[in-house]
Amino acid sequence: MLKIKDIHKSFGKNEILKGVDLSIDKGDVVVILGPSGSGKTTLLRCINFLETADSGKATFGDLQVDLHDASKKDIHTIRQKTAFVFQNYNLFNNKTAIENVTEGLIIGRKIPKAEANNIGKKALDKVGLSDKYDSYPSLLSGGQQQRVGIARAVALNPDIILFDEPTSALDPELVGEVLTVMKNIANEGTTMLVVTHEMSFAKDVANRVIFMDGGVVVEEGTPHDIFVSPKEERTKKFLKRVLPEDYTFYI
Amino acid sequence: MSEGLNYTFLIDTFFIALSGVPITLLVTIVALLFALPLGFLLALTRINQVPILNWFSRIYVSFVRGTPIIIQIFIVYASVPLILSLFFEKYNININVYNINPIWYAFIVFSFSTTAILIEVFRSALSTVNKGQLEAAQSVGLSNFQAYRRIVIPQALVVAMPNICTATVNLIKATSLGYAMSLQEITLKAKVAANVGYNYVEAYIDIFLVYIILCSLVEYGFKLYEKRLRRYKYVSA
Amino acid sequence: MEKYFDISYIWNSLPVLLPFLRVTFMVAGLSIIFGTFFGLILAVMKLGKSKVAQKIANFYTTVLRCTPSIVLLFLVYYGVPALADNFGLYLHDLNTAVFVVITFTLQFAAIMSEVIRSAYESIEKGQFEAAVSVGLSPLQAYRRIIFPQALVVGLPNFGNGLIALLQEGSLAYTIGLIDIVGKANLIIAANYNTHALEIFIALAVVYWVISILIEKFFGKLEKVFSKGKQTINTN
Ligand SMILES: Nc1ncnc2c1ncn2[C@@H]1O[C@H](COP(=O)(O)OP(=O)(O)O)[C@@H](O)[C@H]1O
Ligand SMILES: [Mg+2]
């Protein structure tokens, strides 16, 4: 459903993405792991055209685009088919929770307001925020804000949702509520591409795990492949650093 | 009438305009010397809610910010001679108020308005310095005065510096209104030179250039000083 | 003996002066409209990618920041017709108000370009990114997400700019505009330069009151527009 081919991206002299390929099928939950600075965020942002890649191709269903010079129309189409959940939420500060969720529906997709409100309420209910429809972001906790962020993505009913470290700005005690919400929407069959450091999520929810380092995909496979029998030295090193000593025993 | 610019006049008058710079700077510096400490003290009365002074400062600031400087000049220039002549009459002092050098009026007006502007500058700078800073200083045994002098003021100064720069540039610009008091500064000197042959375009180009040079230099100077203050801030932090 | 200071001159001059606020406001209003528009263009230049455009806009702002209003006023008053002569245009009989509006448009544009730039820059990039990621077009993102937030940030500075413009505008009398200050000077001349102080005090009071009103108005406006900032009671 989504294929990325040979994507390159540099910032000045630093080449951040050095030819990454990616293929995601409908219903997949793909987790990208990798050390900080390995280009995970940049990859996600290039897919959503928040950055312009230097080269690379994307296939989206039957839409083929060049990631370097896509037309405005194609960019718009792809953004309509995708949704993005940001590390620092990026809720619209001047809009209530429900308005955050319906903004894309009403303005982007021209869905009538009443219908959009119904969709929006359902999405907020799904993330457990039935009592916060009319709250402005400044009055919500980090966990609540990120759940609105997820509701905003879900409400669009996109072909795929891109998550960029959705829990890493949260206080530890708030991580759980967001992961639970993500698990629920994954179980409903939502296609997801998730950058995260939450190994439990990768292990329990993902059907494929990609390990990135230094701007390339080092290794990919099922969670079992990656966590239990990684082939590449760099993968082993990384896992050793981020997993507790005896973690593999529990897999 | 399109005979173009009179370049000889343009160049000669540039130097005439330049000769007004010392007066402009003198007025600016005197006003600042007066306004910086007074503005700071009155800002403290605002921050610490000193009963009557706080209220006085508020009205004072509101008046200066609410009225054009030219009208403040008019008022001072019309009222001070009145008051002085009454005073001189009463005590039989034999001074003719109309012989007083206008620069004294300029000192009064620009100190008066700059003080008010600086009260606001210092008030907002002081209020950005965290209250915890003062408490921490006191907790290590500094007196209130020492805490202000060594901890609060240096930090507030860094915050206030860009606004003090703006206030200084605005003050220099405002001295161009000294013409209303016959103050021999940049604008008046060049304008008088232009009166002879109606070379107003040239004269105002010269005045314009002198102010741009003067203000750019002042801004540049402040930038350098700010850099030094900030470096000090990092080192001591 | 005649009194030095006669407070009745203040009261009596007010009804004569106040109608001339119309001229003051008209000149200020036009300068605000044109200046805001021109300032927006400058702000776009400053925020855009072109280094040349940035340089030009920043240079313009610096020059205007360094020029006293009265100098700019006379430069425009004498310079614009002289410049027009070169193109065969005769502008020496143009209404004084036109020169005043040109002057303060140029000045207000410089102020507004900074107000707009800093308001825009205070909005995090993520707001725009989130907006396009939910399928808004860039234009919709600016209009619905960036602009309303930047407006709140810029409003107090815009209000200060208005007050500054109004005060600098008091110099328009120097090139012969009969606004409230011009009228005040006419009254004083008619009194053979006596009781000038009272008339100036009346002027000061008028300006002071207007400035306070503008300040209060923008304070209210800010409250109205700052959605999402105030504490709002849910349910
Ligand atoms: N806009 C940018 N300009 C310059 N460098 C950037 C920019 N965005 C990211 N980088 C650099 O690209 C590298 C990879 O960043 P990122 O994709 O955020 O990595 P990750 O998400 O894997 O931690 C980092 O070294 C970062 O400094
Ligand atoms: Mg990242």
At C229 the pLDDT is: 61
Which atom of ligand 1 lies at the shortest distance from residue A40's CA? 22
At B210 the pLDDT is: 94
Specify the range with the lowest mean pLDDT, choosing from A93-102, B41-50, B222-231. B222-231
pLDDT tens-place string over residues C182-192:
999 999 888 88
Contacts of A198 (CB under 8 A, 6+ apart): A167, A175, A179
Contacts of A23 (CB under 8 A, 6+ apart): A2, A3, A4
Residue C173, in any domain of the structure: yes
A196 close to ligand 1 (CB < 6 Angstrom): no
Residues paired with A55 in a beta bridge:
A8
Say whether residue A88 is in contact with chain C using an 8 A CB cutoff: yes
* Of residues B148, B63, B146, the one with CA closest to residue B112: B63
On whether the CB atoms of residues A44 and A34 are closer than 8 A, the answer is no
A36 close to ligand 1 (CB < 6 Angstrom): yes
Residue C56, in any domain of the structure: yes
Residue C57, in any domain of the structure: yes
Structural domains of chain B, ranges and CATH numbers in brackets: 7-234 (1.10.3720.10)
At B95 the pLDDT is: 77
* Of residues B108, B180, B203, the one with CA closest to residue C181: B180
Q: Which of C124, C128, C133 to mutate to test the interface with A (most CBs of A within 10 A)?
A: C133
* Of residues C232, C220, C149, the one with CA closest to residue A138: C232
CA dist., res. A107 & res. A101, Å (int): 11
pLDDT tens-place string over residues C26-47:
999 999 999 999 999 999 999 9
For chain B, give the percent of residues with pLDDT over 90: 44
CA dist., res. B11 & res. A151, Å (int): 70
Average pLDDT score, chain B: 87
Q: Cβ contacts (< 8 Å) between C127 and chain A: which residues? A: 90, 92-93
Distance from CA of B172 to the nearest CA of C (A): 8
* Of residues B125, B120, B128, B123, the one with CA closest to residue B60: B120
Residue C11, in any domain of the structure: no
Cα radius of gyration rounded to whole Å, chain C: 22
pTM of the model: 0.85
At B128 the pLDDT is: 85
Which atom of ligand 1 lies at the shortest distance from residue A36's CA? 23
pLDDT tens-place string over residues C43-66:
999 999 999 999 999 999 999 999
Which helix (H) or strand (E) segment holds residue B235: the answer is helix B200-236
Contacts of C15 (CB under 8 A, 6+ apart): none
Q: Which two tokens stand for residue B220?
A: 């540049």
Position C4 pLDDT exceeds 80: no
- Would the CB atoms of B71 and C171 count as touching at under 8 Å? no
Ion ligand 2 neighbours, Cβ < 5 Å: A 41
Say whether residue C131 is in contact with chain A using an 8 A CB cutoff: yes
> Crossing angle, helix C21-47 and helix C180-190, to 10 degrees?
140
CATH number, domain with residue C158 = 1.10.3720.10
Residue C203, in any domain of the structure: no
Q: Cβ contacts (< 8 Å) between C130 and chain A: which residues? A: 84, 86, 90-92, 152
DSSP state of C143: I
Contacts of A100 (CB under 8 A, 6+ apart): A91, A92, A137, A148, A152
Q: Which residue has the tokens 């406001």?
A: C25
SS (H, E, C) chain A: CEEEEEEEEEECCEEEEEEEEEEECCCCEEEEECCCCCCHHHHHHHHCCCCCCCEEEEEECCEEEECCCCCHHHHHHHHHHEEEECCCCCCCCCCCHHHHHHHHHHHHCCCCHHHHHHHHHHHHHHCCCCCCCCCCHHHCCHHHHHHHHHHHHHHCCCCEEEEECCCCCCCHHHHHHHHHHHHHHHHCCCCEEEECCCHHHHHHHCCEEEEEECCEEEEEECHHHHHHCCCCHHHHHHHHHHCCCCHHHHC
A16 close to ligand 1 (CB < 6 Angstrom): yes
CA dist., res. C192 & res. C137, Å (int): 66
Biggest CA pair distance of chain C: 81
Residue C92, in any domain of the structure: yes
Position C11 pLDDT exceeds 90: no
Domain that holds residue C97: 22-177
Position C2 pLDDT exceeds 60: no
The ipTM assigned to this model is 0.88
On whether the CB atoms of residues C204 and B109 are closer than 8 A, the answer is no
Q: Which two tokens stand for residue A65?
A: 């685009």
Which atom of ligand 1 lies at the shortest distance from residue A215's CA? 14
Mean pLDDT by 10 residues, chain A (251 residues): 94 94 94 94 94 94 91 91 93 93 92 95 95 93 95 94 94 92 94 94 93 94 92 91 62 44
User: Per the structure, how many domains does chain C have?
Assistant: 1
Burial of residue B43 (CB within 10 Å: 0-12, 13-18, 19+) is buried
Identify each DSSP E strand in B97-193 by its residue range: none
B1 pLDDT tier (thresholds 50, 70, 90): very low
Position C222 pLDDT exceeds 60: yes
Chains with 3 or more CB pairs closer than 8 angstroms to B?
C
- Would the CB atoms of B62 and C82 count as touching at under 8 Å? no
Residue of minimum CA distance from atom 3 in ligand 1: A11
The β-bridge relationship of strands A216-221 and A55-60 is unpaired
Distance from CA of C212 to the nearest CA of A (A): 29
CA dist., res. B126 & res. B45, Å (int): 11
